[in-house]
Structure 1
């Protein structure tokens, strides 16, 4: 039996979706290099950390309804770096939800860390379709 689809009514502020670990492995580095060129040093570019954040967000909340809108996001980097090949752990949770003009708005909080060091925090504001 499959899990029920995530609907607006199921979200609660403070609700955690746990951790998703994304390895900054050769496959991800090669994908990054194909689009942006190879990283210029031994550490992952900030954009690769953000790409991992989006992957973690999508993987953590499944199954999802079709038609969600990624309305905005905010990011705050700590300045800490992580070497290519390391694993980054993302923590995904619900910060807030609100009904506005008949739309389901959900704010998700995300935090990235590697080797016990915080790399970045972020929020994703979504209009949830169901």
Structure 2
């Protein structure tokens, strides 16, 4: 049994806004289904002619994406529970690739900053050890 894809899903494919697994699955389906390729071509034509749906504008402008500061607060665990649930749903269930990439970037930046901070603290400690013993 083949899966039925909505126009919204096909638009998400065009804009590379679907989770990776769904993109791969849909691409394989497009290779084997003339009907699906025809629907995709029709969506491309409508898009090129300037025909946009509310859903497509919502996705293109990423209106449901949390701001980067909210993603940072999510990583710190300081969001209200309902906002935290929304961010988790948005990234994990909806599979927003933009927000997942932002979260990954924030995590790597935080890890790098933590390492630099630890190195700096260690240097301060090492340079002040001699001074502390001299002050006695």
The question of a shared fold, defined as TM-score above 0.5 by the shorter chain, is answered with: no
Name whichever structure is richer in helix by fraction: 2
Greater per-residue strand proportion:
1
